[in-house]
Amino acid sequence: MKTALLAFALVLSVPALATESDAPALSDPAEFADALESCTVVTHGAPHPFMRSFTIEHAITGGDDEACLYSQTMPGGMHMECRLSQAGRRGLATEFREQAKGRMSGGTGEQPAWTSECEIVDSTGKRTPMSGG
- Segment 39-73, tens digit of pLDDT: 999 999 988 878 888 999 999 999 987 899 999 99
What are the φ/ψ torsions at residue 107 (nearest 5 degrees)?
165, -160
Burial class from Cβ neighbours inside 10 Å (0-12, 13-18, 19+) for residue 120 reads middle
What number of other Cβ atoms are within 10 A of residue 2's Cβ? 11
- Cα-based angle 69, 82, 64 (whole degrees, multiple of 5): 30
Closest CA relative to residue 61, chosen from 13, 120, 5: 5
Q: Would you call 70 helix, strand, or coil by DSSP? A: strand
What pLDDT band is residue 12 in, cutting at 50, 70 and 90?
A: very low
Q: Which residue has the higher pLDDT, 8 or 82?
A: 82
24 pLDDT more than 60: yes
92 pLDDT more than 60: yes
pTM for the structure as a whole: 0.78
1 pLDDT more than 60: no
What pLDDT band is residue 8 in, cutting at 50, 70 and 90?
A: very low
